[in-house]
Structure 1
Amino acid sequence: MLVGGLLGWAAGQYLCEEEKPVPPPPPPPPPPPPPAPRKIESLTGPSFEFNRAVLTTEGRTHVDHAVQIMRASPTMRVVVEGHTDSVGSHDYNMKLSERRANAARDYMVEKGISASRIKTAWYGETRPVASNATAAGRAKNRRVDIVAE
């Protein structure tokens, strides 16, 4: 009888025991941030003469490098970003940086890259890469950056 009582008690305990709630699964991790734009070419140095929007020989060499990368990646799209040094008014520098971006884009199109793969943007003097206090720094700021989308 003792065995039967113990078995009955154990069965009762088992049946009376409430099911413990299952904790909800942890939330999924947030998606990774989109990759940052990848600069494929930065035309720093004597890419443009002061107050000009014509690529120098060195500037054309840098754009040629970007053209080679784009030929090897036929689906790549880029943004050509024009920049200036801080000499001149903001409005003038914005227009000059637009002309510089367009000059680099036009050169890329002449080299066989479809214009539909190239966007342009211009920033004037707002994104310097060097100090505008020296002639060498200002020369570095007269540039275009070519950024993969």
Structure 2
Amino acid sequence: MKLHVGLSVRGLALLGCAMAMAAPAWAAPDAEEAQFTCDLTGDCDTAAEPAAAAPGGAPATATPGKPAPRGSATRGFSFRRGQADGAPTQTASVAAPAPAAAPPKPVKPMRVGSADLGLTFEPASAVLTEASKARLAKYANALATPKLATRRLRIEGHTDASGSPVVNRNLSQRRAQAVADYLVQAGVDRQRLDVAGFGSSRPLPGVAPQAAANRRVMAVLL
């Protein structure tokens, strides 16, 4: 009887683990969608922000009053070489592989109600990169949420001051239009979107006009 109960409890535990592993990925809030909504509305959910990283890149998971666990450089493993009795022990550490390059992050907005979309295009064109398409799909999801579903936006294209002002204005207009078109394909009502290209006429405050940071596409609430 005791054996039967023990097996039943173990079976329930295994079932619970399997259900947790099968939970849909969309159940967790997406950081880019949350940041986009935060920038536009000022209504920021701090609970959705990722935990701060400890020095060296390790997550800050230490309990207050207790030292943080070590081993981030060796992933918790150490290898001891054989030594004669009484001789000091030497530990050889295995370096962790270099982290993958992070995708470009949007520039922090100058004010609530605007968001740098953090997009990239093929050189000297209005063709969105695949990474930008994936990011825009997330923004389209955010625009369907109650906080933004009834709001209108202006998609603004900007360039740096390199090259002809006429060419820059035309390129910024085409890039803004490409972004709006992609959002419409992702389900956003076209009537909610205005499009404008400003070329190099609106550089970022404190940034040199020729700086690459000025090449950006913004979303601004209307």
TM-score range, shorter chain: 0.5 to 0.7
- Change in 2 beyond 3 A, CA 1:37/1:109: same
Greater shift after overlay, 62-71 or 87-96?
62-71
After TM superposition, list the pairs within 5 Å mapping 1:79-94 onto structure 2: 79-94=154-169
Q: What is the deviation of 1:147? A: 1.2
Q: Structure 1 counterpart of 2:113, which letter?
A: R
Offset from partner CA, 1:61-109 (integer Å, 9 cap, x none):
3323321221103211110001112221111111111100100000000
Q: State whether structure 2 residue 218 is matched by structure 1 residue 127.
A: no
State the partner residue of 1:58.
Answer: 131
Q: State whether structure 2 residue 124 is matched by structure 1 residue 47.
A: no
Q: What is the deviation of 1:37? A: 6.3
Maintained 8 Å contact 1:37/1:147 = no
**Residue-pair matches, total:** 108
Q: Could you tell me the percent identity over the aligned residues?
A: 34
Maintained 8 Å contact 1:80/1:104 = yes
Offset from partner CA, 1:3-27 (integer Å, 9 cap, x none):
xxxxxxxxxxxxxxxxxxxxxxxxx
Moved over 2 A (4+): 57-66, 128-133
Q: Structure 2 counterpart of 1:92, which letter?
A: V
What's the TM-score once normalised by structure 2's chain length? 0.44
Q: Structure 1 counterpart of 2:154, which letter?
A: V
Q: State whether structure 2 residue 193 is matched by structure 1 residue 118.
A: yes
- Rg bigger for which structure? 1
Q: Structure 1 counterpart of 2:117, which letter?
A: L
Q: Which structure would you say has the larger RCO, counting Cα contacts within 8 Å and 6 or more residues apart?
A: 1
Q: Among residues 138, 143, 147, which one is paired with 2:216 in the alignment?
A: 143
Structure 2: 5+ residue runs without aligned partners?
1-110
What's the TM-score once normalised by structure 1's chain length? 0.63
SS at match of 1:49: coil
